[in-house]
């Protein structure tokens, strides 16, 4: 590489690092807003987040950024870049080409809107008052439609939103994947509904929040979470945020009448955190220092939560620790009974508390509602009724209030449309990765039963985490498993697990 090209590359890297510094500051303020900032701070904090986000956005679409990308994208110069720098240029170019079409003042106003909307959503959820939240959601949907028109789209408008979270994913592809899931999952759910349910009466107790937190921290430590580079806090809706490689924060929600809700929330967000904490330091300060897609990211949270955390070997090892944490509350309960209880299949209203089998139906409901919002066949005002009908159709349950219906998830208040399918895609990726992992780590179940979780974490570090965004999701899946995304692995895994639990032939 010529001296002049190297100089441009160095300046480009420094410019990206400055943008990441803004991103970290914004992320920290967002975390504070969601974890206990005074209520009266929302207005001012939202404006501050908007100002900084606007400045970061202006940098990302500036002439200076365009010049860097043009120079480094010239064939001869690009060919001389390292693998990491070529990927940085490609990722930055894609983001630049999309973002440059959005007026900076429009973007800044949108950030302020969503920052305020998330706090309004929290209040509306608590009051079960959709009309309070409706005007914010209407403006968020309207702005996203305006963004899509500026970005451009192929086929359905919703494709553009899907691509932001799962590159190259389309409605057609997702419809096929979900169709294959429904075809095999619905008969399994129906068969289970006709069998005797596991006993869960021993879960109907009060469990002190402080003890739940203590046990959750213990499990995080067992997973390999680095407490010198992260922390656990409480919030209304669990989330994880990676500020930098040395500061990855997760949150959960504690329910005194539900000992497993917070625990699995912690394990789920802990899976996200392990990904963020173990990206190669070589990628720090670059656009590659994050997960390659939300589907792959969710594969890690869903893997740790379900494949590991809801497994029989896990509780054969850790149930004794749970008993020790809550003295006397699980007397006479065998690990097997606890395992069957936490895997009970029962249609429910709340996605984050849904069993592993019916969970994907929750995602399909949101996916179909989002598609309808963006193809114009559904209006925001009609969402509560449409939501309730979908839940009745897919799960046979109907919300009696919006707090456990259309207001239950935080994502729409932040403008995260196209995000929900990532959860089901994550389940598919996780099952496919697990199939390969079991072959390459033949002692995997014995390790879990012995409390040796670190070999599993190391396998994931080697195969997934360290690469950050260096590998595209499709490329990563093919490298690890030898084939493209295949939903059959998920259904095979679920059939084996739940036929065993419910003793189906």
How far the first Cα of the chain sits from its last, in Å, is: 64
Q: What is the DSSP letter of 453?
A: -
Q: Are strands 247-252 and 240-244 parallel, antiparallel or unpaired?
A: antiparallel
270: left (phi over 0), alpha (psi -120 to 50) or beta: alpha
Q: What is the DSSP letter of 307?
A: I
CB 351 within 8 A of CB 408: yes
Closest CA to 158 of 337, 341, 320, 368: 368
Phi, psi for 186 (deg, rounded to 5): -60, -45
- Tokens encoding 203: 């879960």
Strand arrangement of the beta sheet that strand 230-234 belongs to = 230-234, 247-252, 240-244
Annotated active-site residue in 269, 298, 305, 356: 269
Closest CA to 138 of 415, 434, 351: 415
Phi, psi for 165 (deg, rounded to 5): -105, -30
Q: Which residues contact 420 (CB under 8 A, 6 or more apart)?
A: 363, 366, 367, 370, 411
- Tokens encoding 386: 């449409």
Q: How far apart are CA 45 and CA 122, in angstroms?
A: 16
The DSSP H or E segment spanning 241 is strand 240-244
> Around 494, how many Cα atoms within 13 Å sit in the side-chain half-sphere?
25
Q: How far apart are CA 196 and CA 187, in angstroms?
A: 16
Q: Based on the residue annotation, tell me whether 269 is a catalytic residue of this protein.
A: yes
| Residue whose tokens read 């935080």 | 410
Q: How far apart are CA 270 and CA 261, in angstroms?
A: 14
- Catalytic center residues: 269
């Amino acid at each position: 590489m010529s001296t002049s090209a190297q100089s441009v590359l160095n300046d480009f890297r420094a410019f990206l690092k400055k943008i990441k510094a803004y991103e970290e500051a914004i992320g920290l303020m967002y975390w504070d807003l969601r974890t206990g900032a005074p209520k009266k701070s929302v207005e001012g904090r939202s404006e501050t987040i908007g100002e900084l986000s606007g400045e970061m956005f202006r940098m990302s679409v500036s002439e200076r950024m365009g010049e860097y990308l043009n120079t480094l994208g010239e064939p001869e110069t690009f060919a001389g870049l390292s693998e990491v720098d070529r990927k940085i240029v490609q990722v930055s170019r894609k983001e630049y080409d999309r973002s440059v079409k959005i007026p900076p003042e429009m973007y800044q106003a949108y950030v302020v809107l969503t920052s305020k909307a998330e706090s309004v959503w929290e209040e509306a959820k608590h009051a079960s008052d959709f009309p309070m939240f409706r005007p914010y959601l209407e403006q968020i949907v309207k702005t996203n439609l305006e963004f899509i028109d500026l970005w451009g789209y192929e086929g359905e408008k919703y494709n553009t939103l899907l691509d932001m979270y799962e590159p190259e994913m389309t409605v057609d592809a997702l419809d096929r994947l979900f169709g294959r899931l429904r075809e095999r999952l619905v008969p399994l759910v129906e068969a289970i509904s006709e069998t005797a349910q596991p006993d869960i009466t021993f879960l109907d107790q009060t469990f002190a929040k402080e003890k739940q937190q203590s046990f959750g921290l213990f499990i995080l430590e067992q997973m390999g979470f680095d407490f010198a580079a992260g922390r656990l806090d409480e919030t209304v809706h669990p989330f994880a945020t990676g500020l930098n490689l040395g500061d990855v924060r997760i949150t959960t929600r504690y329910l005194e009448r539900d000992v497993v809700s917070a625990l699995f929330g912690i394990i789920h967000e802990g899976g996200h955190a392990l990904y963020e904490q173990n990206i190669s330091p070589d990628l720090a300060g670059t656009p590659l220092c994050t997960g390659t897609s939300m589907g792959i990211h969710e594969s890690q949270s869903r893997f740790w939560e379900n494949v590991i955390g809801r497994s029989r070997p896990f509780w054969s090892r850790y149930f004794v620790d749970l008993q020790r944490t809550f003295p006397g509350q699980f007397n006479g309960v065998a690990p097997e009974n606890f395992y069957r209880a936490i895997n009970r299949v029962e249609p429910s209203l709340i996605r984050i508390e849904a069993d592993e089998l019916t969970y994907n139906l929750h995602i399909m409901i949101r996916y179909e509602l989002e598609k309808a919002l963006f193809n114009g066949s559904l209006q925001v005002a009609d969402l509560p009724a449409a939501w309730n009908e979908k839940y009745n159709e897919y799960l046979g349950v109907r919300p009696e209030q919006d707090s456990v219906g259309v207001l239950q998830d935080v994502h729409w208040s932040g403008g995260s449309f196209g995000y929900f399918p990532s959860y089901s895609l994550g389940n598919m990726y996780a099952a496919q990765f697990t199939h390969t992992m079991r072959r390459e780590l033949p002692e995997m179940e014995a390790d879990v039963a012995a409390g040796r979780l670190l070999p599993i974490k190391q396998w994931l570090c080697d195969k997934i985490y360290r690469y950050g965004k260096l590998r595209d999701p499709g490329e990563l899946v093919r490298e690890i498993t030898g084939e493209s995304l295949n939903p059959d692995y998920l259904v095979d895994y679920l059939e084996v697990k739940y036929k065993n639990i419910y003793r189906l032939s």
